[in-house]
Amino acid sequence: MVLTFDYRGWGDSDFRLVIKGALPAPDRNGEATVRVQVIRELVDPFDQTEDIVACLDFFSGEPGVDPHRIGLWGFSLGGGHVLYVATHDPRPRCLVTQCPSMDGRWVNQFRDPRWMAIRRGSRGDRCGVPFRLPRTRSAAT
């Protein structure tokens, strides 16, 4: 069995919404109308690795799937993502990563509490779009 998916905001998946402007007071039913901006095709390594973990959650519970024989495959940035997930989640038993795109300094930022605080507190608050990791340069550039 194989499960393929689109990261959130890519391909046929849903998009994310970012509220624009101040939040209005809710009406008596607890509802409010807001202006939103549709965000698609945003590279967000945090969300993308969470999407892979969500696929593991879903797939491991499907009938006919042996949860002890699940593997991950990824290419380029996705290759870096599956490598990261496989090192932090015990469920994948096999890993294929082609041309993984990752930098050790960038990966270490996943563990840095300052980045996690920024991620939790600022997503969607900076310039009306979700937080993006800064570009890093490899030693070769």
Residues whose CB falls within 8 Å of the CB of residue 76, separated by 6 or more in sequence, listed in order: 98, 99, 100, 101
Tell me how far apart the alpha carbons of residues 118 and 73 are, in angstroms, rounded to a whole number. Answer: 29
pLDDT at 98: 86
What are the residue ranges in the chain where pLDDT is below 50? 118-141
pLDDT at 55: 94
Q: What SS3 class is residue 19?
A: strand
pLDDT at 114: 54
The pLDDT tens digits of the residues spanning 88-121 come to 899 999 989 888 776 666 556 555 555 555 444 4
Task: Give the 3-state secondary structure percentages of the chain, helix then strand then coil, rounded to 5.
Answer: 30, 15, 55
> Would the pTM of this model clear 0.95, i.e. be above it?
no
pLDDT at 105: 63
Its CATH class, for the domain covering 43-122, is alpha beta
